[in-house]
Structure 1
Amino acid sequence: MSEQADLTQSQLFLDDTWIAAQRRLQRCWYPAEVHPEPVLRPEEPWEGTVLVLYGTVLQVGDTYRMYYATYNPPRQSLVCVAESDDGLRWRRPVVGEVEYQGSKENNIVLPGPVHPSVTHDPDDAAAPFKMVWYEDTAIRAATSPDGYRWTRIDTPLVSPVGDVQNILLDKVDGEYVILAKPFETRQRYGARIVGFTRSADFRDFPRLDIIQQPDLIDAPAVEYYGMTAFPYAGLYLGLLWRYNGLPDFIDMLLTWSYDLKEWQLPTAREAFIGPAQPWNSMWSSSASGPPIRIGNHLWFYFGGRSRGHGQNPLQYGAVGLATIAVDRFVSLTAGHIEGQVVTKPMTWPGGDLQLNASTTRHLTSHPTDGGGTLFVDVLDSAGQQIDGFAVSNRAEFAGNVPSRHRGSAQKEARAGVVRWGEGRSLNELAGQQITLAFSMRDSHLYSFRSSG
């Protein structure tokens, strides 16, 4: 994979794809930070006590739009829409499409669907919005010209299936991709698992192929309840909903793939988003689609509930927010004894080398609170040092740069840039095959990339 990688995108250290050799380093994983209060709570009569974000958050123009469902037994599920200008303060627009208790003054867009998931395809001018949901052991769908007025498709897309499904927000190679729970998974496989299907026309989806199921690292009572996925930096990241049967709660694991078929998980199965507040103490499930990028952070929206899977009638559910700095899912970390990592060969495309890294003692400290070191040498295809880019001319990175800066094009171009002796840039080696050798102490390396 490394030979074909687009080096103008961030290269992460989720696995050993880029690592030729290393010593005295540790791969460290980081959870997202759950914000204390929900961003959307059940407030309207039709919402009952539970908002279910088996739904989607996406950006339409300058506005963020959220599709969520109500769960208020014995009443039917209702698909609703909320909008926001900043991702924090959400309003319920009056859609005027569905009557509730004699009035259409509400934000309901569709009655009935369970677990709605929405994709936005601007290439389809007639019906850019598409929704899938679970109904009667099948994935059913609807299309819309504006995301407010929906027309149901008569025939199911996939049948039979289980009761959880998510559609990727972005098409993959021109095809729509759905991740879903295969039918009767507990009877056939002994646990809930995740399957995959894709279609070019949003009508003909083949049977699901299994892509995620518990393994020997998982506890015996663990099942995989559902999953969302999105493109990120040349690969696919996913949030896998881990159902812990004993005790009864659902959290989420970070997972990744290079082809949407073969998925990997960290060996240490620590939650990426899990119980953090009373309102999500027993259940956390992610919105479909990618996180929203705000400045140097990724915003993940998720549904949280206060009671377990088997305690639905008494639960409270709301929509929460968890954030993490761009690229900072995992790091190669050195302690007080210096460590090294040497990358596999790459053909440098030109541009500066930019790092997402930290040499500060604490990740939340001030950028000038130093203590660690991080040096970069450049080697040729034979592993020999390149004059002007190694030893006495080696580059030094210092500080805490979470990502490319989003404030202006000028600041973004400078953030995390590495220069060698006399201000030399890696752009001088454009088109050459090189390897990068990082020497680190008390520091963290999250990703590297070319500025292009």
Structure 2
Amino acid sequence: MSTKPLVSLTVTIAFSLALLKTIPHPSPVVAEAADKKPPPRVIGDRRELFVDRHLVDKLKGARFQLHHPRPAELSVTLDQPWEKRFHNGICVIHDGNHFLMYYSAKNRLAVATSRDGIHWIKPRLGLVELGGDRDNNLVGTSDGRLMIGDDKPLPEIFLDRRPGVKADERFKALTLIELPGITRVIGWVSGDGYRFRKLRETPLIETSLYGAFDGTESLFWSEVEQQYVLYIRYAIKVSPPNPADPNRRSVARLSSKDFLSWTKPRPMTFGSDGLLPADHHYNNQTTPYFRAPHIYIALSNRLAQARPALTRRQAELARLLPSRDDIPDPLGALIRDCADTVMLTTRGGTHYDRLFRDALVRPGPGPENWVTRSNYTLRGLHPTGPHEMSIYVNRHNGQGSSHVRRYVFRTDGLVSVAAGFTGGEMLTRPLTFEGGQLELNYSTSAVGSIRVEVQDELGRPIPGLGLKSSVEMIGDEISGTAAWDSTTRLADWAGRAVRLRFVLRDADLYSLRFHE
């Protein structure tokens, strides 16, 4: 990260950080005593994923299972003369019937487009003149200039989904002006995502927070909070000082009702780590999940600072190319650390939940994936088929083979509640719902199954909706419907506090939703 002469925010903490413990599996899966009953979770007809402990009260023989995406095809490679091998994709935006991928082309903002999120082209925008030629895919201003000099941090682009937003302001961008002791943020707007104009000359945001905006930011309109939310990177000085790792990259949050007036940055906390995360969160990539927008998914880029995976000899034998030539030891800088992608979640506020410390996307085979700043996931998690969703990951950073690759998950398939052949159970917290159908996203083996029991808030099976009446669910469905062999109507319990008991055998449960 760059070293900014800003006001210092110092957090002192010991480095003896315990590993996050997994959720305990108590032997009896029963409701708590009436005098300790928690308030019910009001879920209405919202879809709930199992990416945090929000709904889960107890597990017995079952577990939270993190699922890794499968690599798919290359999306974007660097094959144009105005591009450079030191490359990074920034974000993917789904705008109606097409996708836009913004990326760095020799530190100039470029764009690729796709109709399906799978096959990509580089449109010739004819906008920015470069070497006397406008036949390129560079994004800029309406009069054909770069939005900011190519020696400055790239603009951050966002699609404003607020109802009623002006057509010529649907896309928003942020650029930085760095002054001694302060960072200023300028706002831009566009109707097509290619041609931008300044929203106003004065800054939207001014802050003296140490290291603020020194990375890729995440901005969106939250339909749940009814405001704009912005997650930024900042730095924490650690103590005692460590010359090889003096600052910890972390995340702060700002919000605004009108995009013009913003709150001051508020530092995020990270599960049991508190304010000082155990890892460097280089780019947080926090966005609302498209099927459950009240849950924000952060596909955070975790940097293992000063932790090389390759020796100099290995890098030389692999003919790795130094990504910079303006520093004393370019090859040493290339292999000085490595990186991957981890998942965090938040439901608003200033707290990230860390259900897993495991990597979501590992570097994988090949020395090109073990160089600094590789394996960073672009901002955006999008549907690319009826049963799948995709993310996009930077690979081979700084090499001639540098590219962005698509990775594929099952729909809702980041995390499941899972049990093996011997079986397991999950009991929810008390909740209230709307509707009369229970939709489940699930998968079983040929001999596996899922059964569902509805209990009152004290844990007593509701007659006709108990385990004995539950119709065994076998198969693999994104939208399966739970059923009971009785005349009792689930709809009769809508609006009343209930618990759900899931009995699983060689099965995964990815999400649930009540509806009419």
Determine the structure 2 residue equivalent to 1:410.
none
Partner of 1:239: 299
Question: TM-score when scaled to structure 1?
Answer: 0.83
Which consecutive residues of structure 2, in runs of 5 or more, have no partner in the other structure? 1-37, 141-145, 309-336
Contact 1:214/1:224 (<8 A) preserved = no
Change (3 A) 1:101 1:391: closer
Check the 8 A contact 1:299/1:323 in 2, yes or no. yes
1:120 has 2:159 as partner: yes
Q: Which amino acid aligns with 1:93?
A: P
Q: Distance in 2 between matches of 1:318 and 1:164?
A: 20
- Deviation digits for residues 314-359 of structure 1 (CA, Å, limit 9, x no counterpart): 6753222122112222222222323222222222312311112222
Task: Give the Å deviation of 1:47.
Answer: 0.8
| Alpha-carbon contact 2:430-2:499 (below 8 Å) kept | yes
Counterpart for residue 407 of structure 1: none
Which whole-Å deviations, capped at 9, do the CAs of 1:286-335 have from their partners, x for residues lacking one? Answer: 3234434532211112323335xxxxxx6753222122112222222222
C-alpha displacement at 1:185, in angstroms? 5.3
Aligned to 2:396: 305
Give secondary structure in 1 for the equivalent of 2:511.
Answer: strand
Structure 2 residue corresponding to 1:334, chosen from 403, 416, 419: 419
Letter in 1 for 2:75: V
Aligned residue in 1 for 2:361: 273
Residues 108-144 of structure 1 show CA distances to partners (whole Å, capped at 9, x for unaligned) of: 1123353432122253313221112445354433221
Establish whether residue 176 from structure 1 lines up as the match of residue 240 from structure 2: no
Aligned residues: 417
CA distances 1:56-80 after superposition (whole Å, capped 9, x unpaired): 2112231111222223xxxxx2111
CA pair 144-348 structure 1, distance change in 2 beyond 3 A:
closer
Equivalent residue runs for 1:90-169 within 5 Å: 90-110=120-140, 111=146, 112=149, 114-121=153-160, 123-125=164-166, 126-136=168-178, 137-152=183-198, 153-156=200-203, 157-160=205-208, 161-169=212-220
Alpha carbons of structure 1 residues 243 and 438: separation in structure 2 relative to 1, 3 Å: same
Per-residue CA shift, 1:257-277, capped at 9, x if unaligned? Answer: 1114111112x4111123136
* Correspondence 1:86 to 2:116: yes
CA gap 1:177/1:384 in 2 versus in 1, 3 angstroms? closer
Query: If the length of structure 2 is used for normalisation, what is the TM-score?
Result: 0.73
Counterpart of 1:64 in structure 2 is 99
**d(CA) in 1 for partners of 2:39 and 2:296?**
15
Q: Supply the AA of the counterpart residue of 1:102.
A: G
Shift in Å, 1:176:
2.5
Native 8 Å contact 2:62 2:424 kept in 1: yes
The 5 Å alignment of 1:165-204 reads 165-171=216-222, 173-182=225-234, 190-204=247-261
Q: Is the 8 A contact 1:192 1:213 kept in 2?
A: no
In the superposition, relative to structure 1, how do residues 22 and 221 fare at CA in structure 2: closer, same or farther (>3 Å)?
closer
Structure 2 CA distance for partners of 1:289 and 1:141, relative to 1, 3 Å: farther
Alpha carbons 1:334, 1:441 under 8 Å: kept: yes
Deviations 1:192-234 (A, max 9, x none): 11122122333333432211569769x9984221201112223
Q: Tell me if structure 2 keeps the 8 A contact 1:194–1:213.
A: no
8 Å contact from structure 1 (residues 34, 273) kept in 2 = no
> Could you tell me whether the CA contact under 8 Å between 1:168 and 1:228 is conserved in 2?
no
Distance 1:80 1:436, change over 3 A: same
For residues 377 and 124 of structure 1, the distance between their equivalents in structure 2, rounded to whole angstroms, comes to 45
Asked whether 1:436 is paired with 2:436, we answer no
Aligned pair in 2 of structure 1 residues 176, 302: CA closer, same or farther (>3 Å)?
farther
CA distance in 1, matches of 2:185, 2:64: 39
Contact 2:297 2:345 in 1 (8 A): yes
Deviates more, 1:94-103 or 1:4-13: 4-13
In 1: Cα distance, 2:340 partner to 2:176 partner: 21
Is the alpha carbon distance of 1:42 and 1:215 closer, same or farther for their aligned partners in structure 2, counting shifts above 3 Å? Answer: farther
Tell me if structure 2 keeps the 8 A contact 1:256–1:263.
yes
- In the other structure, the counterpart of 1:364 is none
Aligned mate of 2:286, from 199, 220, 229: 229
Query: Residues 5 and 31 (structure 1 numbering): CA distance in 2 closer, same or farther, change over 3 Å?
Result: farther
5+ residue gaps, structure 1: 72-76, 308-313, 361-369, 405-415
Pair 1:61–1:23, CA change in 2 (3 A):
closer
Counterpart secondary structure, 2:260: coil
Q: Are 1:23 and 2:60 counterparts?
A: yes
Query: Deviation of residue 40 (structure 1)?
Result: 0.4
**Cα deviation, residue 432, structure 1:** 3.7
Aligned to 1:82, what secondary structure does the other structure show?
strand
The range that moved more, 250-259 or 380-389, is 380-389
- Give how far 1:100 is off: 0.8
CA distance in 1, matches of 2:476, 2:502: 16
Is 1:10 the counterpart of 2:98 in the alignment? Answer: no
Contact 1:28 1:330 in 2 (8 A): yes
- Tell me if structure 2 keeps the 8 A contact 1:166–1:288: no
1:30: Cα distance to partner? Answer: 1.4
In structure 1, what is the equivalent of residue 86 of structure 2? Answer: 50
CA distance in 1, matches of 2:384, 2:221: 16
Residue type of the alignment partner of 2:194: Y
SS of the residue corresponding to residue 288 of structure 2 reads strand
**2:428, 2:500 within 8 Å by CA — same for their partners in 1?**
yes
Between the aligned partners of 1:193 and 1:49, the Cα distance in structure 2 is 28
Matched, 1:427 2:491: yes
2:359 partner letter = A
Q: Is 1:252 matched up with 2:341? A: yes
Q: Which amino acid aligns with 1:264?
A: D
1:209 partner letter: R
Q: Distance in 1 between matches of 2:160 and 2:154?
A: 20
- Give yes or no for the alignment of 1:382 onto 2:458: yes
Displacement after TM superposition at 1:238 (Å): 0.9
Q: What is the alpha-carbon distance in structure 2 between the residues aligned to residue 202 and residue 447 of structure 1?
A: 33
Give the distance between the partners of 2:346 and 2:201, measured in 1 at CA: 33
1:67-113, CA deviations, whole angstroms, 9 ceiling, x for partnerless residues?
22223xxxxx2111221112121112221221011011111112335
Match of 1:418 among 482, 485, 491: 482
